[in-house]
């Protein structure tokens, strides 16, 4: 099984990033309200629709890079850099939009759980 773990991890990361990013681009993501709140608190000079499309497109790109990096090892460092940037922006709502991610102290909303689960993604990438 060990010989397949890295490839499976990259495929799983591709599916997660590509799928969730595409939902944002298409305007069908249940995470859109949270992303738009983050937008309002950070880069409100960009139109909300454009921000959502760019953020979703960024996730799609990261997903594609995880998939392509199976065959093109030279892009692995760039993939991890973009992943790190995304993780930084993904955890910002925990601080910038607390009313959407915390029901009360140490009790996250569904959106908060969605963000906290990124710890698992970080662990997967660290193991790659």
Residue of 53, 124, 55 whose CA lies nearest to 88: 55
Q: Which domain holds residue 42?
A: 2-127
Gap between the Cα atoms of 7 and 110, Å rounded: 30
Gap between the Cα atoms of 32 and 41, Å rounded: 14
Specify the number of domains making up the chain.
Answer: 1
Question: Tell me, what DSSP letter sits at residue 1?
Answer: -
With residues binned 3-state (H G I as helix, E B as strand, rest as coil), the percentages for the chain, rounded to 5, are 80, 5, 20
pLDDT of residue 104: 93
Q: What is the mean pLDDT of each run of 10 residues along the chain (128 residues)?
A: 90 97 96 94 95 97 96 95 96 95 94 95 95
pLDDT of residue 109: 95
């Amino acid at each position: 099984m060990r010989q397949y773990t890295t490839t499976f991890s990259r495929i799983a990361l591709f599916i997660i990033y590509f799928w969730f990013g595409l939902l944002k681009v298409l305007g069908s993501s249940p995470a859109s309200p949270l992303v738009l709140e983050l937008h309002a608190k950070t880069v409100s000079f960009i139109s909300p629709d454009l921000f959502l499309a760019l953020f979703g497109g960024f996730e799609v790109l990261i997903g594609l890079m995880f998939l392509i990096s199976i065959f093109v090892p030279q892009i692995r460092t760039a993939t991890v850099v973009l992943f790190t940037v995304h993780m930084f922006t993904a955890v910002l709502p925990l601080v910038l939009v607390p009313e959407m991610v915390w029901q009360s102290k140490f009790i996250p909303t569904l959106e908060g759980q969605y963000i906290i689960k990124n710890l698992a993604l970080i662990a997967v990438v660290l193991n790659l």
